[in-house]
Each structure stands twice: as structure tokens, then as C-alpha cells.
């Protein structure tokens, strides 16, 4: 990974701030399920985005910080964890053989979001992107790899533990660094996000007060 963590965090905050003016409130039916990548995120809390901020705004920021962690963990794994690196490489090679991958090529702001709408009772979908991806994976299925020996399993578990610990340490460093950016993040939300949310709520209130609205 090129550059220091401080420089990468500053760069990704800049990129998020450049994206933020393009955000608009959604008018579709909201999801019921909580986003596991954003709910309770210490990174969002460190940035001051954990309360009263629309989820798409949170998610876009969270994914940019996650990109820093992913890149650093990939580099650490390639240099220090040969067994885990090999398994990840083989998994990526298998995925590359699929003719369709639903989330491929998405901008950071949209990575990790559920690609299909939530199901509606008695209204089945003709198809879903997740289903198409599963079909593509089944078509490209390969024979199961050789099972690990007990010693290999133990070694792989240890390498996974080390990679996970490295990711946690990096996440804590990012949280500390984000304290330096809270003011400009907060100013951008106040200037670009809050007026749109207020306007949306005002429109809803006018609609509810309109004559003919069922009371």
C-alpha cells in the first residue's frame, strides 16, 4: 500500500467530500435490515457520522475507510502470511472464471450494499442479481480442492488470526486519525446533507397537511 495511513485517510476523506455534493435523498421504500458494515461502526463514530446521518452517506464513507484497511491487509498477507495469501489468490482465480459477478466494478460508495430489493410477500421477482450470480458460480464450479491436514488447518487459523489482528490495529489507527478530520466532515454534512433532509421532511409534512389526506 502506497503512502502512510495518515495520507491515505486524508485522501479518502477528500474523495468522499468530492462525492458528497452528488448525494440525494432516496425516495424509494427503505430497508428494514440494518447494514452490518455501518451499524455500530467505530470508524463512523470517530468521524462523527454515527448519529442522524442518512445511511447512504455513512456507507459511502465507511467503504472508503474499509478500502484502506483491505489494501493494507492484502499487502501484509502477501508479505507475511503465505498460506492465507495462497488461499485468497486461488479463491480470486475461481471467481474470475465466472461470467457474471453482480458487484464487480462498483464505485466505493456502492460497494457492500445489497443489490436486490427486499422481497415482498406473494410478489416473487422474475430474477435477482444475487440469483444470477449464484447461477454463474454454479456453472463455473470446480472440483473440491484437497482437504487440509490438521496441521494445515491450525496453520491457516493462525494466519487468519494474525490478519484479523492486523486489520483491527489498522482500524484503531484510522479512528485516531479521523479525529483530525471531524470538523470538515461535520461542516460538509451540515452544508450539503442536512438541508436536503430538512427539505424532504418539510415536503412530507406539507403532503400530510394537504386537503384530502386521510386523517
> What's the domain range around 79?
5-21+34-117+149-196
pLDDT given at position 193: 95
Give me the torsion for CA of 181, 186, 191, 194, rounded to 10°: 150
Residue 210 in any domain: the answer is no
Q: pLDDT for 22-65, tens place per residue? A: 999 876 555 667 888 898 999 999 999 999 999 999 999 999 99
Distance separating the N- and C-terminal Cα atoms of the chain: 59
If phi over 0 gives left and psi between -120 and 50 gives alpha, with beta otherwise, what is residue 108? alpha
Spatial separation of the C-alpha atoms in residues 181 and 82, rounded to whole Å: 36
Q: Which residues contact 56 (CB under 8 A, 6 or more apart)?
A: 23, 26, 109
Q: In order along the chain (215 residues), what is the average pLDDT of each group of 10 residues?
A: 83 97 76 81 96 94 96 97 95 80 79 78 80 76 80 96 98 96 97 91 73 57
- Half-sphere exposure (CA, 13 Å, Cβ side) for 120? 7
How many domains does the chain divide into? 1
pLDDT given at position 102: 73
Residue 144 in any domain: the answer is no
Spatial separation of the C-alpha atoms in residues 83 and 163, rounded to whole Å: 12
Residue 174 in any domain: the answer is yes
Per residue, the 3-state secondary structure of 158-194, as one string, reads: HHHHHHHHHHHHHHHHHHHHHCCCHHHHHHHHHHHHH
- Partners of 100 in beta bridges: none
pLDDT given at position 117: 75
pLDDT given at position 76: 97
Residue 58 in any domain: the answer is yes
Residue 202 in any domain: the answer is no
Residue 122 in any domain: the answer is no
pLDDT given at position 212: 59
Residue 45 in any domain: the answer is yes
pTM for the whole thing? 0.83
DSSP three-state, residue 107: coil
Residue 26 in any domain: the answer is no
Amino acid at each position: 500500500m502506497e503512502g502512510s495511513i495518515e495520507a491515505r485517510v486524508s485522501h479518502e476523506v477528500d474523495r468522499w467530500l468530492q462525492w458528497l455534493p452528488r448525494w440525494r435523498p432516496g425516495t424509494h421504500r427503505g430497508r428494514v435490515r440494518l447494514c452490518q458494515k455501518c451499524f455500530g461502526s467505530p470508524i463512523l463514530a470517530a468521524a462523527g457520522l454515527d448519529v442522524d446521518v442518512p445511511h447512504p452517506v455513512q456507507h459511502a464513507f465507511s467503504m472508503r475507510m474499509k478500502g484502506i484497511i483491505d489494501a493494507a491487509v492484502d499487502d501484509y498477507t502477501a508479505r507475511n502470511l503465505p498460506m492465507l495469501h495462497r488461499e485468497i489468490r486461488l479463491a480470486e482465480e475461481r471467481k474470475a472464471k465466472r461470467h457474471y459477478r453482480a458487484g464487480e466494478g462498483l464505485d466505493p460508495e456502492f460497494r457492500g450494499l445489497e443489490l436486490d430489493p427486499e422481497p415482498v410477500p406473494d410478489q416473487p421477482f422474475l430474477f435477482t442479481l444475487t440469483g444470477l450470480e449464484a447461477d454463474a458460480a454454479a456453472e463455473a464450479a470446480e472440483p473440491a480442492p484437497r482437504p487440509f491436514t490438521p496441521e494445515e488447518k491450525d496453520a491457516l487459523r493462525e494466519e487468519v488470526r494474525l490478519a484479523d489482528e492486523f486489520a483491527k490495529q489498522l482500524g484503531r489507527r484510522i479512528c485516531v486519525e479521523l479525529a483530525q478530520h471531524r470538523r470538515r466532515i461535520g461542516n460538509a454534512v451540515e452544508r450539503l446533507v442536512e438541508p436536503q433532509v430538512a427539505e424532504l421532511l418539510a415536503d412530507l409534512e406539507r403532503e400530510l397537511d394537504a386537503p384530502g389526506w386521510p386523517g
